[in-house]
Amino acid sequence: MRVQLGRQLLDRQIVDSAGRLVGKVDDVEFAVDSDGYPYVAYLLSGQGALGQRIGGRIGRLLVAVADRFTENPPTPPVRIPIGLVSRMDSAVWLRCRGEELPRPPVEAWLRRHLIDRIPGADRASG
């Protein structure tokens, strides 16, 4: 499948098999096949990936903020293998549920240090 990354993939919402939003395509990671041809191996999602893609002061700020809210900076992006993509249209649709993906580091930090401390948060749907 031929895709124009900037127009058809980057900044698209990522939707799991249950129809829930799980993130946004902030960047991609390439690999090279045995014949030397590059291909998209992973979709990258998260503030760190977006900040590196944008670059400059704003990009550095996004990365710094993401690193501030994690225990082990630098903040790694969520890496979604391209094989989990079932289709691409106005969104990128996955073959799996969001719970099967690694939790974004910033989201994990916020849940552990903020959301879980709210009385009744354990009874909220999530």
pLDDT digits (tens, 9 = 90+) for 67-86: 887 777 787 888 999 999 99
Tally of domains in the chain: 1
In a domain, 126, yes or no: no
Task: Tell me the C-alpha distance between 39 and 81, whole Å.
Answer: 12
Instruction: Convert the pLDDT of each residue in 88-102 to its tens digit.
Output: 999 999 999 988 888
Q: Residue type at 115?
A: I
Q: Which domain holds residue 49?
A: 5-121
Task: Go through the chain and tell me how many residues it has.
Answer: 126
DSSP state of 75: P
**What is the mean predicted confidence (pLDDT) over 3-26?**
87
Task: Tell me the C-alpha distance between 33 and 1, whole Å.
Answer: 15
Task: Tell me the C-alpha distance between 85 and 73, whole Å.
Answer: 28
pLDDT at position 116 over 70 = yes
In a domain, 91, yes or no: yes
In a domain, 50, yes or no: yes
Supply the CATH number for residue 11's domain: 2.30.30.240
pTM recorded for the entire structure? 0.76
Task: Tell me the C-alpha distance between 89 and 18, whole Å.
Answer: 16
